[in-house]
Amino acid sequence: MTLSRSLHTFHIPVMGLAYTIDSPIRVAQYGISSVISIIDDELMEKMNAFYSKKFNLPYREISKKAEDYRAKRITSYLNLVDSIVKNKFAKFKAELSESKETLEKFLATLPNTSSFKEGLSGFLNEGTLLKDNIKNYLETHLKPGDIDVNIMTKVDKDNFVKGDPLPVEFNDAHASLRGFAESDLNSSVVLSAGMNPRLYSYFENFKDFFPNSQGQLTKKIILKVSDYRSATIQGRFLAKKGLWVSEYRIESGLNCGGHAFATEGFLLGPILEEFKNKKEALIQDTHEVLVKALDQKGIDVPQQPLDLKITVQGGVGTASEHEFLLENYQVDSVGWGTPFLLVPEATSVDKQTRDLLAKAQEKDLYLSGISPLGVPFNTIKGTTNEFFKQKRINDNKAGSSCPKKFLALSKEFGPEGICTASKKYQDVKLQELESKKFEVSQNMYENAKAKITEKACLCVGLANASYLENNIPIKGQEQGVVICPGPNMAYFDKEVSLFNMMQHIYGKASVLANVNRPNMFVKELKMYMAYLQNEITTVSEDITSKQIKKWEAFKNNLLEGITYYQELFVSSISNENKQIQEELGIYKQELTALMIPEMEPV
C-alpha cells in the first residue's frame, strides 16, 4: 500500500458554515487542502452567484421551487469551485515556470522534508532554469489541494411539503451527500458529529464511493473521530456495505473550534498512541470485512487494502507541536483551523469579527451552551450576534425568527421539528417557566431562563461573515455573526498573510503573540479537568450511582493520561519538557484531590 504524498503536511479543517466556504478557491492552487461545509445550500447559492460574476462565468439560479433544489445547489456550487480551482492552478503553474521569484517564494512555503521541494531546488541549484524543464516537472509532480466537504451527520432534518413527510433521501444531510456525490469533484466527504446509520447506508446509492476495476476511489470517506473504539465501530459498519474509510481524522474532544464532543476523559496523546499501534490491525480487519461485502455486491475486490490515512487536529499552534505530531505519532497531516481565521487570504471572515479574534485573550474564549444541538460550543465574548441576541432578551422578544431551520431538530412539539433557538420555541418554554416561578428559588429561575434564551441562531450567525465580507445583502432579522474559534485563538493576536502562516507552521518564522502559551496537550488536560469539575458542581438532579461511576472513570482516565504524558515527555527531545513536567505534576495533585461525590444514605 503506497500513500500519495501531499504537497503540505497540514490541512485547513471545516470552520462554521462560512469561514471555509470558499477556502479552496483561495488556497488550493498552492497545494493546500481545505474543507467546505455543505449544510447551507442558501449560502452556497449566494456564493455561486458571487463567484460566477467575479470570474465572469455563466450562472443559472436554482430557486427553492426547483425539484431537489438543495442537492442541485450544492452540486452546482461544488462544480463551480472545482472549475475555478483548476483554472487558478493552471495559471499558477504557468507563473511558476516563468518567474524565478515566484518559484523561490513558493518553495519557501513548503516543508523542508518535501520531496517536491527537493526536486525543484535541484533545478535552481544547477542553474537549469529552462522553462520546459520546470514546466514538465510541475506537470508531473504538482497537484492542487483537495476540495473536501463536510457533513455534520446530526444535521439531517426531515423535510415536509404541506405537512406531508418527504422520503428520507430528502432529509438535509442526505440531500447534502447527494449534492456532493453528483458533483465533478474527486475528493472526500468528512463525516462529523457521530454515527448516522441511515445516512451511512445511503452512500450505497453512489458508485463513486466504491472502488473501480483498478481499485481506486473517485470519492472518498473521511470520519472525524475522537477515539479508536468509535473509529472501529463506524469503519466496520461502512465496510459491511462495501464502503472504505480512507481517513480517520482525530480531533481533540475539547481543544477545538465549534462543537466540542468531549470524550470520557480520554486525552489526545493516548488516543493517537492507540491509533499508531493498532493502525495495521485496523486496516487488515476492515479490509477483510470490505472484501466480503464487495464480493457479495459483485464489485471488483482490491487485491491489497486501500489507502488509509490517520490525521489529527485540535489545538496545535507551533511548528514544534506540528513536527512532534508527524514524527511521534506518524500521522499523515495536521489540521490547523483556528489560526487561519486570522488569514484573510485563506478564510472568509468580516473585518469586525477578525479584529475581535485578534484581540481575544484566554478569558474571552469559552465553552458555551449557545448551540441548539445541545452540544457545548466553543465561541468568543463580544460577537455582534451576542449583542443582537441580548437586545431581544432585554426587549422581552427572546429567540430567533428561524428562517433556515437546519437545526429545527427537536420533535417536542410535533414531527416537523423546531429549533430551540427559535422565538416560537422559547416563548413556550419561557411561559412554562413563568408558571413555575414561585415554586423554585430566584437563582434557579434565573439560571433556567438563561439556559432557554442563550441559544443562538447558528444557521444565520455562522453564515453572515461571508455576506459581510463580500458585500452581499443580508435579509431578515438581524443576527450578527457567530464565530467559533478554539481556545488556541488566545495566542495569536494579529492578521497574518498566508505566506507568513505557512512559514510559522514549518518553523521558519513565528506569528505567535508574546504571551505564555501552554503546550497543546497540557492545555487540553486543563480543559478536561475544568470540564469534570463543572459537571460535578453544576449537577441539578439527585446524583445516581451511574453518574458517580462515570465521574470516577473520567477521573481515572485523566490520571492515566497524565502518567502517559509524564513518560512521553521524559523520553522525547523538547526544550519545554521541564515546564510540561512541572505543570503535569501540579494537575496530577489537583486531580487526585478532586473529590467525587458519594451517594446520600437513604
- Structure letter (DSSP) for residue 513: -
**In the predicted model, is pLDDT for residue 574 greater than 70?**
no
CB of 513 within 8 A of CB of 492?
yes
Which residue's entry shows cell 431537489?
68
Q: What is the pLDDT of residues 3-40, one digit of tens each?
A: 446 899 999 999 999 999 999 999 999 999 999 999 99
Is the four-CA dihedral 63, 69, 73, 75 of positive or negative sign? negative
Tell me, what's the pLDDT at 129? 55
Q: What is the pLDDT of residues 582-595, one digit of tens each?
A: 999 999 999 999 99
Q: Is the model more confident about 133 or about 396?
A: 396
Q: What is the pLDDT of residues 499-545, one digit of tens each?
A: 999 999 999 999 999 999 999 999 999 999 999 998 898 775 678 89
**245-251 and 220-225 strand pairing:** parallel
**In the predicted model, is pLDDT for residue 351 greater than 60?**
yes
**In the predicted model, is pLDDT for residue 375 greater than 80?**
yes
CB of 547 within 8 A of CB of 539?
yes
Give me the mean pLDDT over the 331-359 stretch. Answer: 98
Q: Which of 125-129, 140-144, 195-199 has the lowest mean pLDDT?
A: 125-129
Determine the longest span between alpha carbons in the chain, in angstroms: 87
Residue 528 has, within 13 A of its CA and on its CB side, a CA count of 29
Q: What is the pLDDT of residues 90-117, one digit of tens each?
A: 999 999 988 889 999 999 999 988 889 8
Confidence class for position 573, pLDDT limits 50, 70, 90: low
Q: Model's pTM, two decimal places?
A: 0.96
Q: What contacts 539, CB < 8 A, 6 or more positions away?
A: 547, 597
**In the predicted model, is pLDDT for residue 2 greater than 90?**
no
Mean pLDDT of the chain: 94
